[in-house]
Structure 1
Amino acid sequence: MSGFLRRLISPAAPTLQRDTVRLRLDDTEIDVLRVRDPRARRIKLSVDERGVRLTLPPRASLVMGERFLQLHRDWLSLQLRSYQAQNLPPPLVIGTPGLLPLRGQLLPLRWETGRYAHMQIDADGACLHWPARGTEATLRRTLREFYEARTRADVGRWLPRYLPGLPRAPARLRLKVMSSQWGSLAPDGSMALDLALVLGRPSAFEYVLVHELCHLIQANHSPAFWAEVEQRFPDWRAERDYFQLEGRRLKAMLRQLLTPAG
């Protein structure tokens, strides 16, 4: 089959068009990521730990997008103040004692000279062994490796408890930085979990694991699905409420830790 016929049968997925516009709010200016999305049906304004995003459907003009921004200036200011008030720990600075979020706690972090970068947890908190030539990229990579190892350790501790009641085990586990979700289960049985889960309290993390495992039984959110969750994790409502209160803060902390400054 020729490449032309293949493209006709399976057309390429439409691509997003992105640019950045400046918007003045009160006494400051912010960058707004403007995205033209072929799948969008209406203009949408959203705020998360990465910033402000304006989504335009194909037929919306740039003028319409600008008007939408101006109409929602007060809402946008309120959302940005909410993020700024999340009481995040100070960003980590190489060689400076700080605080390391882990499993619902802020551990004192100290630095010690080492041959290579790696993190250890002990009775005094967290110790980051640091090489003389360590860089910001080294720090971000070390933090990600540390959190991924802790996440997999938690899953490995909890998973055997729930496997006997499942039709099969997850095909594999992927750890991601998710913007809104906490987990997902693909049709092939592979599970994805948000790395920010390991920053929050362990019971909330365990609930998300149970939630996704129950999708191996019910691939929906029907009453039958929630009955499976209830049977395995009766306190799931309290953990759902926890994410409503603390979810944005957890995701913002992870972004701060893993995203280079500036």
Structure 2
Amino acid sequence: MTGSEPPAYSSAARPSAARPALPVLMYHSISSAARGPLRSLAVGPTRFAEQLAALADAGYRMVGLSEALDLLDDAAIDRNRPAPSMVALTFDDGYADFLTRALPLLDAADARATLYPSVGHLGQYADWLGQWADEFGPLLDWTQLDEVAGSGRVEIGSHGLLHHPLDVLPPQRAVDEIIVARDRLEQRFGTPVRSFCYPHGYHDWRVRAAVRRAGHDNACEVGRRRYRPGDRRLAVPRLLPTGDHDGAALLDLVRTGGPRMVPQAKRLAQPAWRLTRRVARRAGRQLT
């Protein structure tokens, strides 16, 4: 691996003032059973339906992440074909409630999305959540993931093999987990896996380079802001809707990107926090 940073854009499109900000929403579980520190990661079905309806009524097209980026690229190439007003929907981890709750609501709203299953945990529970591992129920198994992929509404991305913070793993182990996860998905579904989601949102230039070399052309983090021209294609930031966001609040989040101070402070703190996590990992602890 070289020390060069992967390019932010595909060769088909370059940064342009004409490219609008893209809101990318990050969901996890579509359920109402959320307690303690995981409360912000669950949106109940009724609230989720309300959020989708608000986006549709406001004229937003709801698509998966790779599709949204392609539409932005097309608009950058052809100035006579502006990008539609759109929101990208993403779902992390691959909880079974995506099939039973999220997918029917996406279908009813004529919405599409990108799902990032954690390949090595399929059919199990989210053990990286520790004492909260069963909070959202089981993860999809392969048969259920087949059904999701067969819906025609969902792009299957990769969330890595195991839900490890890749930036503090030994470099070759991180590379192996990225490659194995993508290979298993592609062998199962017979289509390229373009999009990657960093477990816990953590990455550095080495991880981004490994993701790109494995064949992904886009990847997402947390970020808590909208994707803008000039942002890295392999570190697409996302916004976090919660169960506290009614339709009006969600539209405000999508249109403004939410508060700016906290995301900026988190970015500035990343190098020191990564060092802390590496030291903790050597001591047998994982900090997320």
Q: How high is the TM-score relative to the length of structure 1? A: 0.21
Could you say which structure has the greater relative contact order, defined with CA pairs below 8 angstroms and 6 or more residues apart?
2
| Max Rg structure | 1
